[in-house]
Amino acid sequence: MTQVTMTVNGKTVSGQVEGRTLLADFLREDLRLTGTHIGCDTSQCGACIVHVNGNAIKSCTALAADLDGAEVRTIEGMANADGSLSVIQQAFQDHHGLQCGFCTPGMVMTASALLKENPKPSEAEIRAYLEGNICRCTGYHNIVKAIMAASGQDVSAIAAE
């Protein structure tokens, strides 16, 4: 067992982990932060995306022991300080960017990373950036619309599909 300490959503946390413990499992099982979903365990679906030291990563392939001292942000840490939804979360709600919701935490975390890199992405840029995220319900159209809206772009001309 290895002792790990990291900052998760602004709070310092510690725990004992086996060397093979994935970050996704540490977050879900040890810290009870169940918003990070595990969909495939093979880094294909993107449901487990979190931010580590400011970068979006798939937590189903990162070892918790390797992240000692890291700063981690999960979907639970995306809300505003007063508990209200972040701009991205609100845009997903306003533009129906979710159906079953399973992929939504990973999509929101990916959208946040994209908007950090590219504050005004085009529809094509958003679609390309989402290639590592799988949604089986929405067809992506409203997710793209939500991300464009979160970036402050006018989406009124984008027809609903």
The confidence score (pLDDT) of residue 156 equals: 84
**Angle, in degrees to the nearest 10, between helices 104-117 and 141-150:** 40
Q: Cα separation of 120 and 125, whole Å?
A: 9
pLDDT of residue 151: 96
The pLDDT of residue 70? 98
pLDDT tens over the chain, length 161 residues: 999 999 999 999 999 999 999 999 999 999 999 999 998 878 889 999 999 999 999 999 999 999 999 999 999 999 999 999 999 999 999 999 988 889 999 999 999 999 999 999 999 999 999 999 998 887 788 999 999 999 999 898 776 65
How does the average pLDDT of the chain come out, rounded? 93
Contacts with 108 (C-beta within 8 Å, 6 or more apart), sequence order: 75, 78, 88, 89, 92
Distances 137 to 9, 18, 39, 41 between C-alpha atoms, Å: 29, 35, 14, 20
pLDDT tens figures, 43-83 = 889 999 999 999 999 999 999 999 999 999 999 999 999 99
pLDDT of residue 138: 77
How many CB atoms are located within 10 Å of the residue 34 CB? 14
What pLDDT does 159 receive?
Answer: 64
User: Cβ distance 125 to 64 under 8 Å?
Assistant: no
Query: What six digits make up the tokens of 143?
Result: 């997710």
Give the pLDDT confidence score for residue 161 in this predicted structure. Answer: 54
